[in-house]
Amino acid sequence: MLMRVRGVFAAAALALMFFVAVDSSIGQEIALGADQGQVVDTVKAVFAAATVDDLAKFHAVVAPRFYLYDAGARFDGDAIMALIKAQHAKGTRYVWNVTEPDVHVIGDTAWIAYVNKGAVTDESGTRAQSWLESAFLERHGGVWKIVFMHSTRVPATPPSATVSMR
């Protein structure tokens, strides 16, 4: 009987510690390590390059075999920059922001998942837009390079979390 009481007490104490730890972390940003911060900065740099159609800056942060899945298509190398430049020529402007980064570094490779919260401005006006994105990076000579990115636009009314994945 005494063992059962001790077991219940120990379980209750562990549960209390868990809930205090979870409650105290809600709303706080997780501090990123140096490598993780560099990965986030590399992704931000690709957006900075795209914002001003800077192909040299783009090449500084992507690997030679870079490709991207976006808008239901594959874009190899410079193709995404060509598309963005064409959209800029039509008057479309984009604002991209890396938020909620989840960065994992394993040796000289890393992956990041994040929410890109921004906006699109065109002849119809400005509308807020979010994308769910991820990227895979490799470190070459101490510098992180993006090898692959994936972007999925979040619809104005996201599907329910209970929707079947079939």
Q: What's residue 157's pLDDT?
A: 79
70 phi, psi to nearest 5 deg: -155, 145
Is it the case that residue 149 has pLDDT exceeding 90?
yes
Q: Domain locations in the chain?
A: 34-153
Q: HSE of 8 in the Cβ direction (CA atoms, 13 Å)?
A: 5
Is it the case that residue 44 has pLDDT exceeding 50?
yes
pTM listed for this prediction: 0.76
- 34-153: in CATH 3.40.50.1220: no
